[in-house]
Every structure is written in C-alpha cells, then in structure tokens.
Amino acid sequence: MNSRAPENVLIAHGHRLTEPRQRLIAILSQWPSRFSAGELVKAARKAEPPIGRATVFRTLGLLLELGIVERVRGADDSEGYVVARRGDHHHHLVCSSCGRVEDLPLCPVEGRLKELAAERRFQVQGHNLEVYGLCEGCVKADEK
Amino acid sequence: MNSRAPENVLIAHGHRLTEPRQRLIAILSQWPSRFSAGELVKAARKAEPPIGRATVFRTLGLLLELGIVERVRGADDSEGYVVARRGDHHHHLVCSSCGRVEDLPLCPVEGRLKELAAERRFQVQGHNLEVYGLCEGCVKADEK
DNA sequence: CGCCCAGGTGATACTAAGTATCAATTTAGC
DNA sequence: GCTAAATTGATACTTAGTATCACCTGGGCG
C-alpha cells in the first residue's frame, strides 16, 4: 500500500493510530486549501464525537514533525497550514490575493547559498523560503 | 543628518515623533540581539515613565512597516525581532545554537526565482528567506 | 481472548502575541 | 497659545499554543 499515507507514516514512526487521529487526518484530507489552527479546532469540535482542542494541537504538531502538514506564511506575515503534497524538499508560492499555495519543487537557493554561507563561515543546516505574489488566476482577474 | 535614523524615517513618513516612540527607539538601539515581543513589552514597562503595552505593539508594527525592525524566524519556528542593520534587500543567517542573526546581503534567490515562477505563470511580488545553521563561533564551540 | 500499561485524550487553565475600543492626552502646524 | 488630528494607555478580547492531570484505549503478550 501507499507508505506515504499519513496513517502509515504515523505507525512507521512508532505512534499509535488512534481514532481521534484518524478522524483528524480524514478532516485534513478533505481540506481544500490553507487553514489556520483555529479553523481546524473548530472543524474538529463540530465532528461527531468532537475532538478536543488539545488533541488537535498535539496532532497538528505531530503531523508537522512528520512532514504531513506544512506551515505556510503569507506576505503579510499571516500564518497557516497546508497538507503537504510532496515529501521532498520544496518551497511555496503563496498567492497574496486568494491565499492559494502552490509547490515549487525546484529550489532556487541550493548551490548559490552554500557558496555565500561558506564565505561567511556559516554552517548551513537548512533554509526556508516563501515566495509571495499573484497566482495565474488572480493575475487574470486583476487585468480585467 | 542621518536620514536613515529611525526618528527621521518616522517623520519622513508623516508619523509623529512622540516621546514614547523616542524612548522605545532608544531602548531598541541598545538591544544586543534578537528579542521577542514580550521582552520588549517588559523592558518598556520597566522604563520610567512606563510605556504601555498597546503602544509597544503599535510602535513595533510601525517600525516593522518602515523597515527599522525586522521579523526573524528560527529553525524551530521560533519568532523574534531584530533591529535592521541595513535598508536594502537582504536575508538572515540565524544561528540555531546561540540565536545570533547575521545579515546576508547577497540574495541567492534573485534571477533563478524569476525564471522558475515565470514558467508557472506566477507573478512574484516578493520573497522571504531565512537560513539557519551554526554561526562561526558555535561551529568552533561544537568542535571542541 | 482478555489483561495491562504506555501512550493518548480531553478538560481546564495558563502564557504569548496580538487586535479593538475609547476616553484622555499630546503633537505640530497655524 | 489654540486646535484638530494623531497618539496614548487602560482594558478587554482573540488566536495560537503549552502544561497539567485524571481518565481512557490501542495493541502487544500470554
């Protein structure tokens, strides 16, 4: 089966596949786009039976750590989450108009960054890049 | 005089140079490194006369908008601020051991990013890059 | 199958980081 | 110095996240 399915990743890392977690994953898998912690808490509270706030945050942290969910920050420093669509290194193109998040699989930083940091004797461990602008749809809407 | 002095930038943008703002700028100019909102609020509250919490946040927002202060995020998603040391486009090398923040004036993203985004028909408005790792001092300390 | 217990849950309470409101005060130009 | 507009500070509220702790349950074991 799909070893990248959240349920399997959870188990592979020695976590239990509890009922609240499964239901939370189900909620997330249906999520259309970016969401905030509060939105997820609200959806979880509305579920039947409801999932507690603490569990939502704990599970969110777990999914974040396992790379199943990613934190996204928009141009205005707004925070949010998205369900990860790829497991490898990538970045995000965040639309500042509609909030949509696209993946940018090719990293425009690698290589160049290494040289720059080496000159400074800075030992790079990782980096985070968020690109913001207008997605194709919003550019068109803007032109009208 | 120095047109990049916070006081002058404030005035140049039509803001008033009030006493609380001046004192807050004075506090910031002495700040050794990265700070959190809470730390600044505490320092402002200890000042004589104290500066109110709301004013601290409003002023912080203003200084952020004017580029006098910058938001910095570490590897662990920790948030913080630093007083900007340069006014042009740059990024940050954040030490995940000591928290020190260095400026990276050469942008390793420009150019490459434009091509990549163009292929995707994404209209780039800006980007944010944080690099984390170990600063020169912490690399040495680590080797011992 | 049923026991057992570590890992997980949910209620509650707490902290940090902001935002909103509004009456009282101050600034800067006239 | 006067006045309008900007700013302040107190207070209350919101969102995000952590801490605690008694209770519950998933799943390995006999």
CATH of the domain at B91: 3.30.1490.190
Name the token pair of B141: 């300390």
Q: Work out the pLDDT band at B1, boundaries 50, 70, 90.
A: low
Q: Please indicate if any CB of chain A lies within 8 Å of the CB of B131.
A: yes
Check residue A77 and give its pLDDT.
Answer: 82
Query: Looking at the structure, do residues A2 and A66 belong to the same domain, yes or no?
Result: yes
Distant-in-sequence, close-in-space partners of A79: CB < 8 Å, separation ≥ 6: A36, A71, A72, A73
Residues in chain A: 144
Q: Report the footprint of strand D: residues with C-beta closer than 7 angstroms.
A: A 11, 16-19, 36-39, 41, 53-54, 57, 60-61, 79; B 15-16, 18, 20-21, 49-55, 58-59
Provide the pairing of β-strand A91-95 with A123-134: parallel
Closest by alpha carbon to A58, among A46, A69, A74? A69
Does residue B60 contact residue B81 with C-beta atoms inside 8 Å?
yes
Check residue B19 and give its pLDDT.
Answer: 97
Check residue A74 and give its pLDDT.
Answer: 82
pLDDT one-digit tens code per residue, A69-123: 999 998 888 899 999 998 899 999 999 888 889 999 989 888 788 888 888 999 9
Check residue A78 and give its pLDDT.
Answer: 85
For residue B19, the one-letter residue type is: E
Query: Looking at the structure, do residues B70 and B100 belong to the same domain, yes or no?
Result: no
Minimal CA separation from A107 to chain B, in Å: 8
Q: How far apart are CA A139 and CA B74, in angstroms?
A: 32
Does residue B90 contact residue B107 with C-beta atoms inside 8 Å?
yes
Picking from B39, B57, B84, the residue at the C-terminal end of a domain is: B84
pLDDT one-digit tens code per residue, A26-77: 999 999 989 999 999 999 999 989 999 999 999 999 999 999 999 999 888 8
Query: Looking at the structure, do residues A118 and A67 belong to the same domain, yes or no?
Result: no
Of residues B100 and B61, more confidence is placed in B61
Q: What angle is formed at CA B24 by the lines to CA B18 and CA B26, rounded to 5 degrees?
A: 105
Query: Looking at the structure, do residues B76 and B141 belong to the same domain, yes or no?
Result: no
Query: Looking at the structure, do residues B76 and B110 belong to the same domain, yes or no?
Result: no
Q: Which of A108, A121, A124 comes nearest B131 by C-beta?
A: A124
CATH of the domain at A28: 1.10.10.10
Query: Looking at the structure, do residues B38 and B107 belong to the same domain, yes or no?
Result: no
Closest by alpha carbon to B116, among A86, A106, A139, A89? A106
Check residue B144 and give its pLDDT.
Answer: 67
Does residue B103 contact residue A114 with C-beta atoms inside 8 Å?
no
Q: Work out the pLDDT band at A144, boundaries 50, 70, 90.
A: low
Picking from A84, A119, A134, the residue at the C-terminal end of a domain is: A84
Name the token pair of B100: 């020190």
Of residues B117 and A18, more confidence is placed in A18
Closest by alpha carbon to B34, among B130, B127, B142? B130
Check residue A55 and give its pLDDT.
Answer: 98
Q: Which chain B residues are Cβ-neighbours of A100 within 8 angstroms?
A: none
Query: Looking at the structure, do residues A40 and A94 belong to the same domain, yes or no?
Result: no
Query: Looking at the structure, do residues B75 and B23 belong to the same domain, yes or no?
Result: yes
Query: Looking at the structure, do residues A89 and A55 belong to the same domain, yes or no?
Result: no
Does residue B73 contact residue B79 with C-beta atoms inside 8 Å?
yes
- The total domain count for chain B is 2
Q: Is residue A1 scored above 60 in pLDDT?
A: no
H helix runs in B30-78, sequence order: 37-46, 53-65
Picking from A51, A66, A84, the residue at the C-terminal end of a domain is: A84
Query: Looking at the structure, do residues A74 and A95 belong to the same domain, yes or no?
Result: no
Query: Looking at the structure, do residues A42 and A98 belong to the same domain, yes or no?
Result: no
Residue B115, domain extent: 86-144
| A133/B117 Cβ within 8 A | yes
Query: Looking at the structure, do residues A16 and A76 belong to the same domain, yes or no?
Result: yes
